[in-house]
Structure 1
Amino acid sequence: MITGSQVGSDLRPSPTAPAPLALDDPALYINRETSWLEFNDRVLEEALDERNPLLERLKFIAIYGTNLDEFFMIRIAGLMQQMAAEVHKRSDDGRLPEEQLALVSERLRRSLARMTDCLQNQLFPALERHGIRILRYEQLDSETKRAMRRYYDERVFPVLTPLAIDKGHPFPYISNLSISLAVELSETTADGPVHYVARVKVPGSLPRFVPVDSAPPGQRWFVLLEDIIGHNLEALFPGLRVTASHAFRVTRDADLDLQEDEADDLLRAIESELRKRRFGEPVRLEVEPEMPESLRAKLLEALELDRNDCYEVDGMMGTADLWTLYAIDEPALKDPQFTPAIPKRLIGQTDIFAAIREGDLLLHHPYESFDPVVQFVQQAASDPSVLAIKQTLYRTSGNSPVVAALLDAAENGKQVAALIELKARFDEENNIHWARTLERVGVHVVYGLPGLKTHAKVTLVVRDEPDGIRRYMHFGTGNYNDKTARVYTDLSLFTCRADLGADATQLFNALTGFSKADSYEQLMVAPTGLRTGFEELIARETEHALAGRPSGIIAKLNAISDAGIVQALYRASRAGVPIDLVVRGMCVLRPGIPGVSETIRVRSIVGRFLEHSRVFVFSNGGQREIYVGSADWMGRNLDRRVETVVPVFDAMLGDMIVDDILDVYLADNVKARTLLPDGSYERRGVLPGEPRIDTQQIFLKRYQAV
């Protein structure tokens, strides 16, 4: 293994350039969609891992389900749109859209079977042993059934709307991700029996997990709402006999379709599109195994879906709702709580600007507190010397102290500019709310550049000081969200370097005005220069290797799916550059292929915290360069978003990033999985005599000890 401190010391290549090779050969790429499914399987493995606390295992099932819903709403919907538009473009691995859909369908069914088995046969029985039970209606005693019937009559029945499905009634609209019951009915007439089918929606406005009040003391019992409805349907259909009911669930395309050039008001346009989101085209039908074939066929025909779009769920549908059970107050069944540390330099320091003037500052979240980031904006809001605050906001919390500080700043007479990304997927409504709130107090709110999402995480504070104007900056790898900062691993860099201040000013001028800046002194910024910047840095390592100089690349990021970057890495590997990649999610690169990627190693770590930081290290002939930022190696980040990647100039901070952080990731033998050339992953594992190296646990202990 080539660790950060060893990059460039091994694998010295021959100075002879490798023979030409077609690096766009589809055989050199893993399918993007199946690579994502592999990532979600690693999430599922955490649910299967008995070393994790029980409710944490349940949490991973909830995450698995949430991830899968979004995958269908965005990725599968996109492939189906391509098919509908008769787009025949092949993926980098050489597959047509219909071939990718078939591949996903086959691959996913095996994974779903494992998930269902884990939930129904492992986690639910284990929860029962701790007094947390999901009871079937048939398991209730007579008294409890009467109580559930009263609940149904008083709280549920008034909300329900049965909808007939027959030639006289149009097929009812099935809203996105809602659970419904297909109810089979019959009546006896003079001409013989007549059969009907109706749909009853399980209302999302009511709790899905209905408590059983008669549970023994100290125990928590629940019945699923759809089970209660399914056993009391006769009240909805007087005069008819309910012969059966079957749960099903529909997933729809949820990506926004905006023509920004035609939208006079982007905020109103997005509000309109959000209302349409629940009416998107169907992309998946989930059914119970017992649903008759004739009824499945009727639903598929009405939804205009194929059989490959239908998935049997032998157990609970909509596992994202398991967050309700995870919220149960049972500390013994969860990870131990921790208190994020305050960095040594900031302990007792009330002036964040003074601390930054002493030297650049790096925070490692969630192990180190996000509070200094909030303090940075709060102090700027109240400091009489601060003239202006400019900030990008991609995702924020519902009760954001960062946004509250911007409101205070505007009321205190500061010039405040906030770029709010209205197109942040599934956070659009929250961001619209904050945009309107900020505008009301006089904040200059802008929505970014047409056709581009602003994903950069930058705050610029302009301060009038005795020796002149000084600019203070925060660059992050994560969002300005105090809630996710406790569960996402990210880095924060504070600096007041003049050259970075000039670049940050130029960036905000481009975002808020008509500046056409396409080059920066130190920052790498997408879409103008980030792709070429990365490709040049990788090419430089290739040249160093061919010349016999120390070379090496370490990158930690969320995803690698861009063919141009992959080809640059292949060229570097063929020249002998040692490359270590820590990639949480999808990775289309195939490591370890002789003559192509022999020196590339790819690891993935999925654990208690969501790995979210992006770090890039280039050995550079012994003059190491380190960057942190908001971008992954994906086409969207490099070409279709505003992203920032900032160099880390402080040598001590650089050593900390490589030696104290990245080296731990590269040595992990507990949570790390290694990507194999065929696209599968295997656990690194603890070898005999080795110490256990669990990255996130090591960081928790290290920072708690500070």
Structure 2
Amino acid sequence: MHPNKISDQIKKSKYISRDLSWLRFNYRVLDQVKNPTKSLFDRLKFLAITASNLDEFFMIRVGSLYNYIDYNKERVDYSGLREMPFRKKLLEFAHRFVNDAYQTYQNELVPLFEKQGFGICKIDELTEIEQRKASYYFKNTIFPLLTPMVFDNYHGFPLLMNQILIFGVVTKTDEAKAQNRLTFIQIPQNLARFYEIQRKDKLIFVPIEEIIRWKIGKLFRNVEVVSVNLFRITRNGDFTLEESDDIDADFIQEIKLKLKTRKKGRVVRVEIERNASQFMLKTLKERWSIDNGNIFSVSNINLIDFKGLWQIIRHTNFKDKLTKQPSPVLPLSLPLEQTDNLFTYLKKRDVLLHHPYNSMEPVVRLLEQAAEDPYVLGIKQTIYRLADQSRVTAALLKAAENGKHVSVLFEVKARFDEERNIKEGEKLEKAGCFVIYGISKYKTHTKMLMIIRKEGEKVTRYIHIGSGNYNEQTSKLYTDISLLTTDETYAHDVSEFFNVITGHSLPNDYQYLITAPKDMRQQIIELIRAEAKNAKKGLASGIVMKMNSLEDKEIIDEFYKASKAGVPVRLIVRGICCLRPGRKGLSENIAVSSIVGEFLEHSRLFYFHNNGESKVYGGSADMMVRSFDRRIEAMFLIVNEDLKREAIKILSYNLKDNQNTYIMREDGAYIKKREAHEKAFNIHREFYKLRVEPEEPIDLFEYCSKERVEAIKEVAPNPE
């Protein structure tokens, strides 16, 4: 398909491609790297994040595309493109991103290294004494770990590992016949990426690959080396499971087997030094059935794999260089004097937590208290991702040791955390916990905790439900919301929900929960339609939704219908957004923004105006097909009026931010929100200043009015 036809097809579609939208998101992360007001180390951090993001994108999204291409299965992208034209567009976009990232690094960041007291140097930039040190390090530490693997008529093609640095060395074996041989040397993962040398005035980081390149002759004695080229491969990491009705030992073994296949998945990307050996490139292309679209050439003055920069970013010499996060503040609904007495306090009042501005400590501490409390009878919890050396796991183990009933649903299909969750689950099983490793064909993504405590003649259930994982580390970096309560209606709903996911119960309708895969999509559609009905009647209406991703076509179509009915819709979508805002006759009343900054926006909050009787939900689900059809998710209604005001305040701050916000245009591009007439408002700082609960109701109608939507369209005009 001609490039112009591809572009026209994309523009005509009323949906934005999920994958192209994701690449736009990574550009917004790259924009943080380009921001000269940030410290160099913050900028390096965001550059490393873009690299990590892109690795996962190629493993999963590009890998998924190749699952269709390799097996001749039909796939039509949201843009309307079939597999091969879409592959062409996607890889072109990815090449442009990679080029922009490397130019930013080389032109904007490297010149700042000297002033910050460090440098990344090659061998010829070292002094004679420093070269001797590097030589000694190679001889005693690196050399014993290197294993050359030759590929020729007598040796098969070796299994090259995913996402590690590899040298391809071409040698001449027969001068008369000019025959070449190809040998691979994989750089050990357990060695630091940089060899460090302390000079008087600065710290020198020497890439380990440059030391190996310098000493490559030690591995090829009496052989002519024709070329030495560094490269790195990314393999398809998108696998599916043959799922049965029961998750048992056989299923766990299947997951372990599938994890091994990830190491052998088809190659979808090769990052390689520019001007690499054509002999080697031809061999790799033929071996892996790839072409120039999969080859990402990198200038020899740049690094391959920016994730290695974490060694510099986290170095003890620079520990004060990263932007310091303020200390967490107490939740508005939890006074300081009550933090050590949560069992008593939660019987009187619900608590809304907003991370990382509020610490996750109250949740972890409640769990730890429950493990030791003689009146606690049992604990039930869903776990998706955990921290290293998790206090959550430690508390559950302690509870089991103390004779309490502990039921844990470990989601072993949590991508890239499968092995960790299997190990943690087995550890809990050995301690006597009742462990379930996922539910049938569904991925359990909901975040729930229930503590059952005997208090006199009755039992009180302490409930925690939220949008984020039970991970003490990421709770300091991700924005999330959650609810602590002993309200009997929540307790009943959550108890019923646990019975569903651990047994075969089919409950009646929940009062405060909306769940997937049962009926979440349909209930959200009904809430959107209710706003459209109000708009048609001339009543006040409005929708504000904050989420990570918006991809489900049925939900998007309902937004389009609501827009046509006159409902003003404000969407805050951090990453993927397949809805096309501001298109005449389709989505004129819809505005979309994305917040990308110091914290990863992970909270999900959903507001429906409801003619002044607002409904506000939080929860674990995004508006995606997988969330509705292939995951166990839960949204919870916030009924306490004080907490509802807090949640609405959170949304209003998100809409007010003008420092981290990008406005999405109708063509799918984003521009930075700049309102010169307004005072700077940075939500990643303002939430730390909240000390008093809002007494008066906040009407989000002001923020999602048609006038506000029109103003946003003026801010983000489409190019002529």
1:530 is aligned to 2:530: no
Measure how far apart 1:167 and its partner are: 2.6
Distance 2:227 2:374 in 1: 71
Whichever residue aligns with residue 191 of structure 2, its letter is L
Secondary structure of the residue aligned to 1:617 is strand
Q: What is the distance in 2 between the residues matched to 1:87 and 1:630?
A: 32
Q: Distance in 2 between matches of 1:264 and 1:655?
A: 45
Between 1:149-158 and 1:476-485, the stretch displaced more is 149-158
Residue aligning to 2:566: 576
Identify the match of residue 209 of structure 1 among 194, 214, 239. 194
One-letter code of the match for 2:63?
Answer: A
| C-alpha separation in 2, matches of 1:642 and 1:518 | 17
Amino acid at match of 2:100: R
Tell me the equivalent position of 1:326. 313
The letter of the residue matching 2:304 is M
Distance 1:434 1:188 in 2: 55
Q: Which of 263, 266, 278 is residue 281 of structure 1 equivalent to?
A: 266
Distance in 1, matches of 2:233 and 2:49, equals 19
Is this contact kept in 2: 1:339–1:704, CA < 8 A?
Answer: no
**Aligned partners of 1:194 and 1:560: how far apart in 2?**
55
Match in the other structure for 1:14: none
| In structure 1, C-alpha distance between the alignment counterparts of 2:110 and 2:455, rounded to whole Å | 61
5 Å-filtered alignment, 1:435-514, equals 435-466=425-456, 468-514=458-504
Q: Is the 8 A contact 2:380 2:450 kept in 1?
A: yes
Matched, 1:302 2:287: yes
Q: 1:589 is matched with which residue?
A: 579
**What TM-score do the two structures reach when normalised by structure 1?**
0.93
Paired with 1:666 and 1:101, the residues of 2 have a C-alpha distance of: 35
* Corresponding residue SS for 1:424: coil
Offset at 1:295? 2.5
1:624 aligns with 2:614: yes
1:163 and 2:149 aligned: yes
Counterpart residue number, 1:685 = 674
Report what 2:239 is aligned to: 256
Q: Secondary structure at the match of 1:492?
A: strand
For residues 583-605 of structure 1, give each alpha carbon's deviation from its aligned partner in whole angstroms, at most 9, with x where no partner exists: 10010101001121111110001
Aligned counterparts of 1:25 and 1:234: Cα–Cα separation in 2: 54
Q: 1:10: which partner in 2?
A: none
Q: How does 1:71-110 map to 2 (within 5 A)?
A: 71-110=57-96
Answer yes or no: is the 8 Å Cα contact 1:560–1:588 preserved in 2.
Answer: yes
**1:672 lines up with 2:672 in the alignment:** no
- Structure 1 CA distance for aligned equivalents of residues 537 and 457 of structure 2: 47
Q: Which amino acid aligns with 1:343?
A: P
Structure with the greater relative contact order (CA < 8 A, sep ≥ 6): 1 or 2? 1
- Read off the aligned partner of 2:330 and give its amino acid letter: I
Q: Which amino acid aligns with 1:228?
A: I
Question: 1:360 corresponds to which letter in structure 2?
Answer: D
Q: Which runs of 5+ in 2 are unaligned?
A: 1-9, 695-720
Match of 1:414 in 2: 404
- Does the Cα contact within 8 Å between 1:263 and 1:269 map onto a contact in 2? no
> What amino acid sits opposite 2:650 in the alignment?
I
Question: How far does residue 703 in structure 1 lie from its aligned partner after superposition?
Answer: 6.2
- Hey, what's the Cα distance between the residues in 1 that align with 2:315 and 2:550? 37
What code does the residue aligned with 1:324 have? Answer: Q
CA–CA separation in structure 1 for the residues paired with 2:12 and 2:487: 45
Distance apart, 1:192 and its partner CA: 6.0
Deviations 1:330-387 (A, max 9, x none): 2442102421122352412222122212221101110111100101211221222221
Which residue is equivalent to 1:246? 229
Any idea what SS the aligned residue of 1:28 has? coil
**Equivalent in the alignment of 2:303:** 316
Quick check: 1:398–1:430 contact (8 Å CA) kept in 2? no
Aligned partner of 1:641 in structure 2 is: 631
Q: Give the direction of change, closer, same or farther, for the CA distance of 1:264–1:418 in structure 2 (3 Å limit).
A: closer
Of all paired residues, the percent bearing the same amino acid is 37
> Which residue in 1 is equivalent to 2:712?
none
Determine if the alignment matches structure 1 residue 232 to structure 2 residue 215: yes
1:324-403 → structure 2 map (5 Å cutoff) = 324-329=311-316, 330-343=318-331, 345-349=334-338, 350-403=340-393
Aligned-residue offset at 1:221 = 1.0
The amino acid across from 1:39 in the alignment is: F
Match of 1:540 in 2: 530
CA distance in 1, matches of 2:87, 2:43: 29
Return 237-246 or 563-572, whichever deviates more.
237-246
1:627/1:648 contact within 8 Å kept: yes
1:188 positional shift: 6.2
Matches of 1:105 and 1:150, distance apart in 2 = 42
Task: Measure the CA separation in 2 of the matches of 1:255 and 1:376.
Answer: 37
Residue 12 (structure 1) aligns with: none
Q: Distance in 1 between matches of 2:46 and 2:259?
A: 28
Inter-partner Cα distance in structure 2 for 1:518 and 1:285: 52
- 5 Å-filtered alignment, 1:75-154, equals 75-154=61-140
Range with bigger deviation, 692-701 or 595-604? 692-701
- Tell me whether 409-418 or 331-340 shows the greater mean CA deviation: 331-340
Letter in 2 for 1:43: V
Q: Provide the secondary structure at the position in 1 that maps to 2:662.
A: strand
User: Is the 8 Å Cα contact of residues 247 and 440 (structure 2) preserved in structure 1?
Assistant: no
Q: Does 1:699 align with 2:687?
A: yes
Instruction: Report if the CA contact (8 A) 1:394-1:454 is conserved.
Output: yes
Aligned residue number for residue 47 of structure 2: 61
Q: Which residue of 2 aligns with 1:7?
A: none
Provide Cα deviations, 1:662-682, integer angstroms capped at 9, x if missing partner.
Answer: 111111211110000000001
The equivalent of 2:645 in structure 1 is 655
With over 3 angstroms needed to count, the CA separation of the structure-2 counterparts of 1:631 and 1:705, relative to structure 1, is closer
Give, as a single letter, the amino acid of the residue that structure 2 aligns with 1:323: W
In the alignment, the residues of structure 2 paired with residue 218 and residue 397 of structure 1 have an alpha-carbon distance, to the nearest angstrom, of 38
**Per-residue deviation, residues 131-184 of structure 1 (Å, max 9, x unmatched):** 121101221222222221111111111111112222332222111101111112
Q: 2:227 is aligned with what amino acid?
A: A
CA distance in 1: counterparts of 2:204 and 2:386, whole angstroms: 35
Q: Distance in 1 between matches of 2:273 and 2:482?
A: 47
Structure 1 residues 518 and 229: CA distance shift in structure 2, 3 A: farther
Whether the 8 Å CA contact 1:628–1:646 is kept in 2: the answer is: yes
Offset, 1:527: 0.3
| Deviation for aligned residue 1:686 | 3.1
Residue equivalent to 2:205: 222
Q: Deviations over 1:461-496 (max 9, x none)?
A: 112223522211001110000000000001121111
- For structure 1, the 5+ residue unaligned runs are 1-23
Please tell me whether residue 607 in structure 1 is matched to residue 590 in structure 2.
no
Residue aligning to 1:15:
none
Structure 1 position 194, deviation (Å): 4.3
Q: Shift of the alpha carbon at 1:211?
A: 0.9
Quote the offset at 1:26 in angstroms.
6.3
Shift of residue 271, structure 1, vs aligned partner:
2.1
Q: Where does residue 704 of structure 2 map in the other structure? A: none
Name the Cα RMSD after superposition. 1.9
> What is the identity, as a one-letter code, of the residue corresponding to 2:661?
A
Q: Which residue of 2 aligns with 1:563?
A: 553
Aligned to 1:79, what secondary structure does the other structure show? helix
Distance 1:430 1:235, change over 3 A: same
Tell me by how many angstroms 1:111 deviates. 1.3
User: How far 1:99 sits from its partner (Å)?
Assistant: 2.0
What residue is the counterpart of 1:199 in the other structure? 184
Count of residue pairs the alignment pairs up: 678
Q: What SS does the corresponding residue of 1:403 show, helix, strand or coil?
A: helix
**Secondary structure of 2:337's match?**
coil
Equivalence for 1:179: 165
Equivalent residue of 1:164, what SS?
Answer: strand
Code of the aligned partner of 2:552 = D
Q: TM-score, normalised by structure 2?
A: 0.91
Structure 1: how far apart are the matches of 2:585 and 2:693? 46
1:400 and 1:693, CA in 2 relative to 1: closer, same or farther beyond 3 A? Answer: same
